[in-house]
Structure 1
Amino acid sequence: MKTLEEWLAHCERLHPKSIDLGLERVRGLAERMQLRFDCPVITVAGTNGKGSTCAMLEAILTEAGYRTGVYTSPHLVHFEERCRIHGESAPAEQLVAAFERVEGVRGDVLLTYFEFTTLAILDVLAHAQLDVVILEVGLGGRLDAVNVIDADCAVITSIDIDHAELLGDTREQIGLEKAGILRPGRPAVVSDPMPPQSVIDHANAIGADLWLLGRDFNYSGDPQQWAWAGRGRRYAGLAYPALRGANQLINASGALAALTAMRQQLPVTAQAVRNGFALVELPARFQVVPGKPALVLDVAHNPHAVAALAQNLEIQRAYYSSTHAVFGAMSDKDLTAILTRMDPVIDCWYFTDLPTPRAATGAALHALWQSVSTRKDVGAAVFKTPQIALQAAAMVAAPADRIVVFGSFYTVGGVLEQGIPNLQAGQPSSGKDG
Structure 2
Amino acid sequence: MRFATPDEWLRHLEAIHPSEIDMGLERVSEVADRLDCKKPAPLVILVGGTNGKGTTSALIAELLRAQGKRVGMYNSPHIHKYNERVSVDGSDISDSDLCASFDAVEQGRGDVTLTYFEFGTLAALWHFSRQELDAVVLEIGLGGRLDAVNVAEPDVSVVTSIGLDHQDWLGDTVEQIAYEKCSIARKDKWLVCGQENAPETAAQTVSEIGGQFAARGDMFSAEIRSDGLAVQYMAAGQSRRLTFAKYWIPHHNVATAVQALALIDQLPDDDVVTAVVADLRVAGRWQCWQRDGATLILDVAHNPQAAGYLRYHTKDLDCLVLGMLKDKDVAGVLKALPPFKTLYTVTLTGWRGQTSDELAEKCELAGFTVTQSFETMSDALGHIPDQGVSLAAGSFHTVEAAGDWIANRGPEWNSI
TM range (shorter): over 0.9
Aligned partner of 1:356 in structure 2 is 350
Q: Secondary structure at the match of 2:298?
A: strand
Aligned partner of 2:214 in structure 1 is 211
Measured in 2, the distance between the counterparts of 1:339 and 1:267 equals 37
Offset at residue 373 of structure 1 (A): 2.6
When structure 1 is superposed on structure 2, of 85-94 and 221-230 the one drifting more is 221-230
Offset at residue 169 of structure 1 (A): 0.5
Over residues 90-134 of structure 1, what are the superposed CA-to-partner deviations in whole Å (9 max), with x where a residue is unaligned? Answer: 111111100000011122211110001111111111111111110
Measured in 1, the distance between the counterparts of 2:199 and 2:244 equals 29
| 1:316 and 2:341 matched | no
Aligned partners of 2:349 and 2:355 also within 8 Å: no
| 1:6 and 2:1 matched | no
Measured in 2, the distance between the counterparts of 1:388 and 1:127 equals 45
Measured in 2, the distance between the counterparts of 1:204 and 1:374 equals 44
- Name the CA shift for 1:194/1:356 in 2 (closer, same or farther; >3 Å): same
Offset at residue 212 of structure 1 (A): 1.1
When structure 1 is superposed on structure 2, of 14-23 and 123-132 the one drifting more is 123-132
Offset at residue 421 of structure 1 (A): 6.7
Aligned partner of 2:278 in structure 1 is 278
1:339-378 matched pairs, under 5 angstroms: 339-342=334-337, 345-373=339-367
Q: CA RMSD in A?
A: 2.1
TM-score by length of 1: 0.89
Offset at residue 207 of structure 1 (A): 2.4
Measured in 1, the distance between the counterparts of 2:404 and 2:82 equals 12
Over residues 34-53 of structure 1, what are the superposed CA-to-partner deviations in whole Å (9 max), with x where a residue is unaligned? Answer: 11323101101100011111
1:329 counterpart letter in structure 2: M
Aligned partner of 2:332 in structure 1 is 337
Aligned partners of 2:289 and 2:413 also within 8 Å: no
Measured in 2, the distance between the counterparts of 1:49 and 1:60 equals 16
1:263-274 matched pairs, under 5 angstroms: 263=265, 266-274=266-274
2:138 counterpart letter in structure 1: L
1:240-255 matched pairs, under 5 angstroms: 240-243=246-249, 248-255=250-257
When structure 1 is superposed on structure 2, of 26-35 and 219-228 the one drifting more is 219-228
Offset at residue 333 of structure 1 (A): 1.5
1:165-314 matched pairs, under 5 angstroms: 165-231=168-234, 232=238, 234-243=240-249, 248-263=250-265, 266-291=266-291, 292-309=293-310, 311-312=311-312
Aligned partners of 1:421 and 1:431 also within 8 Å: no
Offset at residue 267 of structure 1 (A): 4.9
2:342 counterpart letter in structure 1: C
Aligned partner of 1:34 in structure 2 is 36
Aligned partners of 2:40 and 2:126 also within 8 Å: no
Aligned partners of 2:233 and 2:239 also within 8 Å: yes
| 1:385 and 2:388 matched | no
Measured in 2, the distance between the counterparts of 1:347 and 1:168 equals 35
Aligned partners of 1:141 and 1:178 also within 8 Å: yes
Measured in 2, the distance between the counterparts of 1:226 and 1:329 equals 31
Measured in 2, the distance between the counterparts of 1:160 and 1:287 equals 24
Over residues 305-345 of structure 1, what are the superposed CA-to-partner deviations in whole Å (9 max), with x where a residue is unaligned? Answer: 22333x236x433xxxx521111111112223334444x71
| 1:17 and 2:19 matched | yes
Aligned partners of 2:356 and 2:373 also within 8 Å: yes
Measured in 1, the distance between the counterparts of 2:413 and 2:83 equals 20
Offset at residue 275 of structure 1 (A): 1.8
Measured in 1, the distance between the counterparts of 2:415 and 2:325 equals 27
| 1:60 and 2:60 matched | no
- Count of residues paired in the alignment: 409
| 1:416 and 2:403 matched | yes
Aligned partner of 1:425 in structure 2 is none
Measured in 1, the distance between the counterparts of 2:188 and 2:112 equals 33
Q: Secondary structure at the match of 1:181?
A: coil
**Which of 106, 129, 132 is the aligned partner of 2:132?**
129
Aligned partner of 2:321 in structure 1 is 326
Measured in 2, the distance between the counterparts of 1:223 and 1:76 equals 35
Aligned partner of 1:404 in structure 2 is 391
Among the aligned pairs, what percent are the same residue? 34
Offset at residue 6 of structure 1 (A): 0.5
1:254 counterpart letter in structure 2: T
TM-score by length of 2: 0.93
1:335 counterpart letter in structure 2: V
Offset at residue 374 of structure 1 (A): 5.8
Offset at residue 386 of structure 1 (A): 1.8
Q: Secondary structure at the match of 2:230?
A: strand
Measured in 2, the distance between the counterparts of 1:58 and 1:419 equals 28
Aligned partners of 1:172 and 1:197 also within 8 Å: yes
Offset at residue 429 of structure 1 (A): 6.1
1:398 counterpart letter in structure 2: D
Aligned partners of 1:61 and 1:272 also within 8 Å: no
Measured in 2, the distance between the counterparts of 1:24 and 1:61 equals 32
Aligned partners of 1:420 and 1:433 also within 8 Å: no
Q: Secondary structure at the match of 1:135?
A: strand
Offset at residue 420 of structure 1 (A): 4.8
| 1:97 and 2:92 matched | no
Measured in 2, the distance between the counterparts of 1:333 and 1:260 equals 34
Over residues 358-401 of structure 1, what are the superposed CA-to-partner deviations in whole Å (9 max), with x where a residue is unaligned? Answer: 112101112232333366xxx611212223211222xxx032x1
Aligned partner of 1:156 in structure 2 is 159
Measured in 1, the distance between the counterparts of 2:223 and 2:415 equals 34
Moved over 4 A (4+): 418-422, 428-434
Measured in 1, the distance between the counterparts of 2:392 and 2:263 equals 37
When structure 1 is superposed on structure 2, of 95-104 and 291-300 the one drifting more is 291-300
- Name the CA shift for 1:178/1:371 in 2 (closer, same or farther; >3 Å): closer
Which sections of structure 2, spanning at least 5 residues, go unmatched? Answer: none
